[in-house]
Structure 1
Amino acid sequence: MKSLSVFFKDLGTAVKNPKVLIPIIAIMFIPIIYSGIYLAAFWDPYGHLDRLPIAVVNQDQGAELEGKQLHVGEDLVKELKDNKEFDWQFVSKDQARKGMKDNKYYMTITIPENFSTQATTLMDDEPKPAELVYEPNASYNFVASQIGNSAIKEIRAKVSSKVTEAYADSLLDQVSKLSDGIAKAGEGAGELHSGAGDLDEGAATLKENLAKLANGTLELKDGLSPLTKGVSELHSGASRLKQGSSDLSSGLGQLQAAGTKLAAGADQASEGSGKLVDGLQGSLDGAKKLNQGLVSSEAGSERLLVGLQSAEDGSAKLSAGLQSSEQGSAKLESGLASAADASGQVADGAKGVADGLKQLAQASPELAQNPAVQKLLQASEAVAQGSAKLHDGQQQLAQGAAALHDGQQQLVQGAAALHDGQQQLVQGAAALHDGQQQLVQGSSQLAAGQQQLVDGAKSLQSGQNQLSAGLKQFNAKLGEAAQGGQQLAQGAGQLDNGSSQLLAGVNKLSSGVTTLADGSVKLDDGAGKLKEGIDKINDGSNELAYKLNDAADRASINKTDAMVDMFADPVQTAENTSEKVPNYGTGLTPYFMSLGLFVGALISTIVLKVRESSVPEASGWNLFVSRTFAFGGMALFQSLILTTIILYGLGLEVQSVPLFYLYTFLVSLAFIFLVQMLVTWFDMPGRFIVILALTFQLATSGGTFPIELIPDWLKPLSPLLPMTHSILGYKSVISTGDYSVMWHQAGILAIYGGVSIVLTALYFLFKGKKNQKAQAAETAAV
């Protein structure tokens, strides 16, 4: 109860203040103002179509069908005069044109002059449908033009029925005439049956004679078979002989040409073998000279090996001497370094003596005048200078000795490398000597092989000469054989042509006899089929006479007006009204009630405070309870007023009045809590979000046109927005009575409302604490 105290204080403040109370009362009527006025204006527009003026212009001149006058235009005008669905205005063409221009008529229907004439062309080779011209005044009112389109379809059906009735009447008359014609055809079929009997006897005699002809031609065909086979075998043998002799002649010619080339090649080979003998003889002389040079080279390599071995011994001795010299230079460097140190000490002592004498002389002028002291002073200075120079010389000698020692070390290293190189040269010279020995042996073998090649080449040259002589004699014999082969091919060709002509003549004879035999057999078969066909004609003509007489009896009909009407309009429709909506307003009520409640929720946040209270010290929780009860009460009053006026003011019929009241209250609560949450959190941007959501709901909720007709990119938004679910629930409680759908949609709307309440509570609990701290800080500062 403590939490409700803030709500009652806010309520009392609002009641006492007319400036607040009057707007609150006004927004309770926003949903009914928004939706009720539109529904009242267009509650049942299709029930007043008789007020909608439509111009009708009849220019039909009529026509004649099977000797009867046909005036489809006049019949249609009579039908429309008895029809009260629209305000039909029967005017001239000029009046209709002026009325459309002045927006007096919503549509013009014109019946052309040739309307009846074209209706009579159904039985023509190129029938032309009758055209009923209508012109909707869509620029004046698009909805009225759409209603007119539905009306013209109904008129077209009526005109089609009238034309079909005239055709049916004429067609039934033709059927009666057809019955008389069938009866006469039955009499003719009886006469046909008598003639078919005589024809059957002649066909039997024809078949007997044709059978004899067929047997004779078959015997002639069998006698020609051995002759044809023999001639065919003769032709086949002649063809093979011709082909073989041609191949033989061609092969002999090719063999002669090849023999000529072979003889020429043998002559060239003989000349080449002579050149080969000469070349191999020269190569043999070169091999012998190579062997002599290699023997001399082998002796030189032996001498080189002895010299290198001597040089290797000298380099070893040189290396030993340089090592001894390096040791001596090291000792020299050490002694000169000691001498330099000693000379340094002597120079320092001499300089000290000279300095001491100079100080002594300066201290005793008399002593300084003494010639002996002066000489001693000069001698000490000279000694000091000399010892200094000696020290410098000693240092230079020590440095030279160090450089000498470094050079000696490098010489020792070079001598060691020289000794290693000398050893490698000795080893290489030994390997060279061994290779020279192997080359000497190989050159000896090469010379022996060259001698054998020379002997073989001489034998080859002798054989080539013999081959060349034999090939010349063979080519002469091949020329004679080639001439004989050509003569044989010519004779075989003549034999093949003669056998081919003979085979062609026999084939023509055999083909003619075969054709004659086949023709006689077919004639025999045809005669049999002819007799069978005549038998069938005889039977069929008998049956035809019977059937035609029976058909004449069946085709005789008794034409009545009911029969003609059935032909003209054979299909009727029966409407199932279990799911029918009584009027336009009932169908749009779910859409406009949802729209009115959503707009009412939005305007409520403008009049009612969403974050503030008349109690300054109210906590966040108390503010939440106060605002929730305020908006909940507004939802209750808006739903009660809207439902009551829709039910009893407009006369809406629903499946359940209590559930209609309850469901409207649930929809109103869900909408107002959702709008409250958005405005509480975001203030003016929240109202913009609400307007944006309202815009999308107008397009995607399915309240006017089916959702399937909206663009594909809008379809995913439909199930996410609350008005889609509120409309589905309203359709159930108003029209279908499927309350399970209503409760399911109510559950979804409850989720919208519950989540919105929780988010609103979070705002007041957290933001309220911050506001209290800010107010406490301001109070403390004061």
Structure 2
Amino acid sequence: MKGLQLIKRDLMAMWKHPHGRIALIFLIIVPLIYAGFFLAGYWNPYGKLDNLPVAVVNQDKGSMMDGERIEAGKEFVKELKGNQELDFHFISEEKADKGLKNGDYYMVLTIPKDFSKNISTLMDDQPIPAKLISKTNPGENFVASQISSTAVEKINEKISKSITKTYADGVFTKFSELATGLENAGNGSNEVYQGINDANHAMAKLGDGYSELNQGMNQLTAGSNKLLHGKEALSSGAANLEKGSLSLSQGMGKLSAGLDTIKTGGEQVTIGIKQWSSGNEKLLQEQTKANESVKLLQDQMNAYSKSHPEAGEEPEFQKLQETANGLAKATEQLQAGQTQLAQGAQKAAAGQESIESGLGEFSDKLDEAAAGAKDLAAGTVTFNEGFEAWDNGYTSLNNAINKAASGTKPLKEGTEKINDGLEQLSDGAHTLSSKLKDAADKTSGISNSDSLTDMFSEPVVLEQISLSNVPNYGSGIAPYFLSLAFYVGGIMASNILPLGRRKERIVNGTHHLINKLGLVYTIGIIQAIIVDSIVLSVFNLEVASIPLFVFSSIVVSLTFMTFILMLVTVFGIVGKFLAVTFLVFQLATCGGTFPMELGTPLLSKIGQWMPMAHSLKSLQEVISLGNWHELQTQLLFLVLYLVAAGIIAWVASHMQHRETPVQHVPS
């Protein structure tokens, strides 16, 4: 075929020319130069951190903690001297700052003066964290500054863990004392629980007492109200009593004066009675004599009547005799009456004497009664005045009783609330006692050990699980650098190989495209095989499958070659500049150095559909990930790019070679 013959002719022409031969050899090894130098420079940079100079300045003055001297700064320096992660230089602050400025050191790590002092405040109420001061100069080398900072952070974590372990050891040694204290606290809380129960029972009795008090206060209120209603009558009676006692006192005074008069009259009566009794005795004697005379007269009259019967018949004599008889009877009666009167007079005299004696005693008693009535009158006045005061006081007392009666209700309610609170407090005290005892039992079982203090100082350990194995930085960055190398190889091919339109019209567009594709594919395959051989044998790049790795490299190389050929075919020399522009754009957006999510969103969206994004992903799959389904998908995208670019180049080539060739290519 004419296209294949043109491939052979172009290659032989370049090989026969001295400069062409050099250019062809350079073209073949361009991807190797890019990939080799980049991978060699970045193959394992983290494995040589011990060559990264870092200055350490120790200004720590030490401190006292629990009566012991601590030198945390010196301990830190000792730890760093035994650490090989960085090239530590222990120098003065002046030399360190000067070296950082001049680029002799990528970081200055300063241990401040109060480092130990701040560490000793860990158990204080307001602990002050100890600080390490790292000073970098990113302008000198940003990556070195970042790496140094990361390494120092890891060392700081180790030191912090060591310090925490020291404190943990001291803490755990105190746990036995804590266990004893918790046990004592549990016993004390049990006693509190018992005391609260006793208080609860007492409050229950107090509540019953308040109930009885409430009933008593209700009765007292009722009685007080009744007494309040009766005090008006009592007040009126007290006023009347005052008036009566005053009248009594006055009457007793008059009675005493009248008694004196009675007493005087009684004495006169006594004298008269005595005189009357004495005269009555004499009268009785005369009466006796008169009676005797009357009887004598009667006897004489009877005797005369007997001796002088005629006289007895005479009316005058009979009247005289009747008068004598009547007189005799009257004198007898008079004598009998006079006798009784004499006896009565004697009795009256005796009674008058008794009366006079009684009046004397009565007079004395009446005097006493008068004095008592006077005192009674004065007392009733005082009583009435006191009763008025009592009235006022009782009114206040009644009001106070009513308030006290109404106050017993909230007092009872408060007592009930206190009782409920005591029950809750009792439950809480019981729970506290049991929990303290449980804590004491659990705490007493804690024993100090290295594993326990390690756990305390580092309670969380990060366990990293990797879905894929990337042994070093070079292996991780290899897909990016290989994609870059193959693309640069395509750009160099566009500049060295004769890919432009021919001046002589000897072929059509299809023959021309086959000629150019044959040239770039030959170079692309050779480039891929050489680069893969070197990275597999010299750099010992670990891949999931060597055949698939070589196949993927060839597909990537051919895709880039076709893509760049399409640009050159369509745009001519401008296409070469466009190829370089696409290279820069893809390097910034394919996610080879940083994830796409960290870039500009719009550019990242566009970049993920560019050929290099798929080449990067396909090489990642075949080197580290081993997801064959994803590898097939990415290779399919690359083949689609290859086919699309080939079709565009074919169309452009046909448009450029419209005339039918009239000359034959010599064999």
What SS is found at the alignment partner of 1:108?
strand
Aligned equivalent of 1:646: 535
**Letter paired with 2:96:** A
Report the Cα offset of residue 222 of structure 1.
11
Which of 539, 558, 564 is the equivalent residue of 2:447?
Answer: 558
Deviations 1:456-504 (A, max 9, x none): xxxxxxxxxxxxxxxxxxxxxxxxxxxxxxxxxxxxxxxxxxxxxxxxx
Counterparts of 1:612 and 1:197, CA distance in 2: 109
User: Would you say 1:131 and 2:131 are equivalent positions?
Assistant: yes
Q: Which deviates more, 627-636 or 658-667?
A: 627-636
Aligned equivalent of 2:630: 741
CA contact (8 A) 2:221 2:402 kept: yes
Aligned length: 491
**Letter paired with 2:171:** L
Counterparts of 2:540 and 2:26, CA distance in 1: 24
Report the Cα offset of residue 537 of structure 1.
6.5
Structure 1 unaligned regions, length at least 5? 224-509, 777-782
Between Structure 1 and Structure 2, which shows a larger proportion of helix residues? 1
TM-score by length of 2: 0.67
**Letter paired with 1:44:** N
**Letter paired with 2:24:** I
Cα distance, 1:517–1:682 mapped onto 2, change above 3 Å: farther
CA contact (8 A) 1:66 1:170 kept: no
Aligned equivalent of 1:74: 74
CA contact (8 A) 1:62 1:115 kept: yes
CA contact (8 A) 2:55 2:91 kept: yes
CA contact (8 A) 1:72 1:159 kept: no
Counterparts of 1:15 and 1:98, CA distance in 2: 57
Counterparts of 2:433 and 2:7, CA distance in 1: 105
What SS is found at the alignment partner of 2:128?
coil
**Letter paired with 1:14:** M
Counterparts of 1:95 and 1:18, CA distance in 2: 57
Matches within 5 A, 1:448-597: 519-530=407-418, 548=436, 551-556=439-444, 557-597=446-486
TM-score by length of 1: 0.58
CA contact (8 A) 1:210 1:524 kept: yes
Deviations 1:558-600 (A, max 9, x none): 3334332322222323332442311111111111111111111
Report the Cα offset of residue 668 of structure 1.
0.9
Report the Cα offset of residue 131 of structure 1.
0.9
What SS is found at the alignment partner of 1:29?
helix
Cα distance, 1:739–1:518 mapped onto 2, change above 3 Å: farther
Counterparts of 2:610 and 2:189, CA distance in 1: 81
**Letter paired with 1:710:** G
Cα distance, 1:519–1:168 mapped onto 2, change above 3 Å: farther
**Letter paired with 2:413:** D
Aligned equivalent of 2:646: 757
Counterparts of 1:153 and 1:38, CA distance in 2: 28
Counterparts of 1:667 and 1:10, CA distance in 2: 24
**Letter paired with 1:27:** L
CA contact (8 A) 1:654 1:734 kept: yes
Cα distance, 1:129–1:221 mapped onto 2, change above 3 Å: farther
Cα distance, 1:41–1:560 mapped onto 2, change above 3 Å: closer
**Letter paired with 2:33:** I
Counterparts of 1:574 and 1:220, CA distance in 2: 82
Aligned equivalent of 1:38: 38
Counterparts of 1:62 and 1:133, CA distance in 2: 17
**Letter paired with 2:90:** F
Counterparts of 1:547 and 1:619, CA distance in 2: 97
Counterparts of 1:11 and 1:540, CA distance in 2: 98
CA contact (8 A) 1:50 1:84 kept: yes
Deviations 1:69-116 (A, max 9, x none): 433222222222221111111222223223223321111111112112
Counterparts of 1:202 and 1:4, CA distance in 2: 116
Which of 608, 611, 630 is the equivalent residue of 1:719?
Answer: 608
Cα distance, 1:108–1:638 mapped onto 2, change above 3 Å: same
User: Would you say 1:16 and 2:16 are equivalent positions?
Assistant: yes
CA contact (8 A) 1:718 1:724 kept: yes
Counterparts of 2:606 and 2:427, CA distance in 1: 78
Aligned equivalent of 2:592: 703
Counterparts of 1:632 and 1:219, CA distance in 2: 121
Larger radius of gyration: 2
Matches within 5 A, 1:53-64: 53-64=53-64
Counterparts of 1:89 and 1:515, CA distance in 2: 89
Counterparts of 2:399 and 2:499, CA distance in 1: 114
**Letter paired with 1:558:** S
Counterparts of 1:560 and 1:66, CA distance in 2: 21
Cα distance, 1:701–1:215 mapped onto 2, change above 3 Å: same
Deviations 1:657-700 (A, max 9, x none): 11111111111111111111111121111112111111111110
User: Would you say 1:167 and 2:167 are equivalent positions?
Assistant: yes
Cα distance, 1:607–1:174 mapped onto 2, change above 3 Å: same
**Letter paired with 2:414:** G
Report the Cα offset of residue 650 of structure 1.
2.0
What SS is found at the alignment partner of 1:61?
coil
Matches within 5 A, 1:621-632: 621-632=510-521
Report the Cα offset of residue 727 of structure 1.
0.3
Q: Which deviates more, 55-64 or 37-46?
A: 55-64
**Letter paired with 1:721:** M
Matches within 5 A, 1:241-260: none
CA contact (8 A) 2:15 2:24 kept: no
Report the Cα offset of residue 189 of structure 1.
4.6
Aligned equivalent of 1:617: 506
Counterparts of 1:539 and 1:34, CA distance in 2: 80
Aligned equivalent of 1:345: none
CA contact (8 A) 1:10 1:614 kept: no
Report the Cα offset of residue 200 of structure 1.
5.6
Cα distance, 1:593–1:514 mapped onto 2, change above 3 Å: farther
Report the Cα offset of residue 606 of structure 1.
1.5
**Letter paired with 2:172:** L
Deviations 1:169-188 (A, max 9, x none): 23223333223333444554
Aligned equivalent of 1:671: 560
CA RMSD across the alignment: 3.4
Cα distance, 1:757–1:533 mapped onto 2, change above 3 Å: closer
Aligned equivalent of 1:156: 156
Aligned equivalent of 2:305: none
Deviations 1:602-640 (A, max 9, x none): 121221112345975333333222222112212111211
Report the Cα offset of residue 29 of structure 1.
1.0
Structure 2 unaligned regions, length at least 5? 224-397
What SS is found at the alignment partner of 2:113?
coil
Cα distance, 1:207–1:48 mapped onto 2, change above 3 Å: same
Cα distance, 1:528–1:588 mapped onto 2, change above 3 Å: closer
Counterparts of 2:111 and 2:408, CA distance in 1: 71
Q: Which deviates more, 590-599 or 181-190?
A: 181-190
Counterparts of 2:220 and 2:406, CA distance in 1: 12
What SS is found at the alignment partner of 2:56?
strand
Aligned equivalent of 2:657: 768
User: Would you say 1:181 and 2:181 are equivalent positions?
Assistant: yes
Q: Which deviates more, 696-705 or 686-695?
A: 686-695
**Letter paired with 1:628:** L
Report the Cα offset of residue 37 of structure 1.
1.0
